[in-house]
């Protein structure tokens, strides 16, 4: 674990949080990772990886245009084969790497997704996944909960009006019914799975976000709120929009994690997912080399060195604001809630549920 430091040196002025009610000054900023001249120590393998089981999606959410719309999307659409999946998941099992079972696209569109989830579970891999829940029907929920012990994150975005404005062409009633069934079935089975809902702030008023909390949080472990605030699509929590740091820290992502595309290509982070084929950010392929060899190999080393020199290899790293996720504030407690503010998300934890679980 890297040392956590107070970060007055980073900050021109305290960040302001307006998430709950009255604007609140947040001055006690922390930087989670300190860097030496060589950046961070490189572990033998990443601590977690994202698997792009598919890059297809059945929705056209307004905030996903950076991936699939205005800025173009030229990668081939596809589905991860059992061969590529087996290589990836067995290497994750071998090295104790956690796996995000989706990276881009809706994982339940993959006809073998639940089989993949089951295989990862059999191998003892710590896994979790995001879904838009349009296909998370009660029979699929029953199947998944019969073996799964990971975490499921459902994207919602608001009540009916906001949801259907953002998540076209999904039906609010269908997705809300799927989520309600998931919560009910998980409860009935003694909560084998951690459940969370993610909300992208796309202009919903404070009252809308508070209504979301009231409606869903009692059945969940947590809800996450983030802003989509740059043309790379980075999700940043509200206080960090207002924070004006003096300098940009070194991005830690290529020292922690990587993504594996559906064809086995390894890329440094999810921001590259739409344009991996148009940059020099494909750092290897797991059908040709082990993940450990790619992770410590020449292409990855060159990529990290470019970040260290602040000589970003292309416009994607230069424009990206995801480095803000390396800042956080100390947790705050309110009745029944723990509020965690990091650069990535504001996460509201249901601590009453946590204490019942323990
Ligand atoms: S700066 Fe952004 S795009 Fe570049 S590696 Fe870090 S997270 Fe990815």
| pLDDT per residue as tens digits for the range 193-227 | 999 999 988 888 888 988 999 999 999 999 999 88
* H runs (alpha helix) in the chain: 65-68, 82-95, 113-122, 138-145, 160-166, 172-188, 206-216, 238-242, 253-256, 291-295, 298-308, 315-319, 351-357
How much is the pLDDT for 118? 98
| Residue-wise pLDDT tens digits, 118-168 | 999 999 999 999 999 999 999 999 999 999 999 999 999 899 999 999 999
How much is the pLDDT for 355? 67
Mean of the per-residue pLDDT values of the chain: 87
Neighbours of 358 (CB within 10 A): 5
Question: What is the C-alpha separation between 36 and 55, in angstroms, rounded?
Answer: 36
Q: Give the H/E segment covering residue 274.
A: none
- What percent of the chain clears pLDDT 70, i.e. is strictly above it? 89
Per 3-state DSSP, what percentage of the chain is helix, strand, and coil (rounded to 5)? 35, 20, 45
Pocket of ligand 1 (CB under 6 A): 251, 253-254, 268-269, 271, 316-317, 320, 322-323
358 pLDDT above the threshold of 60: no
Q: Which residues lie closer than 8 Å to 177 by C-beta, 6 or more apart?
A: none
303 pLDDT above the threshold of 60: yes
298 pLDDT above the threshold of 50: yes
Per-residue CA distances from 130 to 6, 9, 184 (Å): 32, 36, 19
Q: Give yes or no for a contact between 69 and 61, defined as CB atoms under 8 angstroms apart.
A: no
Our mutation pick for probing the ligand 1 site, out of 71, 249, 253, 315, counting the most ligand atoms within 8 A of Cβ, is 253
How much is the pLDDT for 84? 98
The pLDDT confidence band at residue 1, using thresholds 50, 70 and 90, is very low
What does the block give as tokens for 302? 């060159």
Q: Higher confidence at residue 18 or residue 314?
A: 18
Question: What is the C-alpha separation between 308 and 97, in angstroms, rounded?
Answer: 25
Ligand 1, atom 1, lies closest to the CA of 317
How much is the pLDDT for 11? 72
Cα(171) to ligand 1 centroid in Å equals: 34
Question: What is the C-alpha separation between 61 and 279, in angstroms, rounded?
Answer: 25
């Amino acid at each position: 674990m890297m040392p956590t430091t107070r970060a007055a040196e980073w900050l021109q002025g305290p960040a302001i949080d307006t998430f709950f009610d009255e604007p609140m000054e947040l001055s006690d900023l922390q930087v989670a990772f300190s860097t030496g001249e060589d950046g961070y120590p490189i572990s033998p393998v990443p601590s977690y990886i994202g698997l792009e089981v598919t890059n297809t999606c059945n929705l056209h959410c307004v905030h996903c245009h950076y991936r699939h719309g205005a800025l173009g999307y030229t990668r081939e659409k596809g589905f991860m084969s059992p061969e590529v999946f087996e290589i990836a998941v067995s290497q994750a099992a071998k090295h104790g790497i956690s796996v995000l079972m989706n990276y881009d696209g809706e994982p339940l569109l993959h006809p073998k997704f639940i089989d993949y989830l089951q295989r990862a579970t059999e191998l003892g891999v710590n896994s979790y996944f995001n879904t838009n829940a349009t296909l998370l029907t009660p029979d699929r929920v029953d199947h998944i909960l019969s073996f799964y012990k990971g975490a499921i994150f459902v994207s919602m975005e608001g009540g009916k009006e906001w949801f259907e404005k953002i998540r076209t062409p999904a039906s609010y009633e269908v997705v809300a019914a799927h989520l309600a069934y998931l919560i009910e079935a998980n409860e009935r089975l003694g909560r084998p799975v951690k459940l969370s809902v993610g909300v992208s702030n796309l202009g919903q008023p404070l009252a809308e976000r508070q209504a979301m909390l009231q409606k869903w949080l009692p059945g969940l472990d947590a809800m996450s709120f983030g802003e989509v605030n740059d043309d790379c699509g980075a999700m940043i929590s509200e206080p960090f929009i207002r924070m004006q740091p003096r300098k940009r820290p070194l991005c830690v992502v290529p020292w922690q994690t990587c993504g594996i595309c559906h064809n086995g290509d390894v890329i440094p982070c999810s921001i590259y997912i739409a344009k991996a084929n148009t940059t020099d950010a494909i750092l290897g392929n797991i059908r040709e080399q082990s993940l450990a060899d790619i992770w410590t190999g020449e292409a990855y080393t060159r990529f990290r060195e470019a970040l260290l020199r602040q000589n970003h290899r292309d416009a994607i790293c230069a424009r990206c604001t995801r480095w803000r996720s390396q800042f956080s504030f100390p947790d705050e407690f309110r009745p029944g809630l723990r509020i965690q503010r990091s650069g990535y998300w504001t996460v509201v934890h249901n601590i009453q549920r946590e204490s019942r679980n323990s």
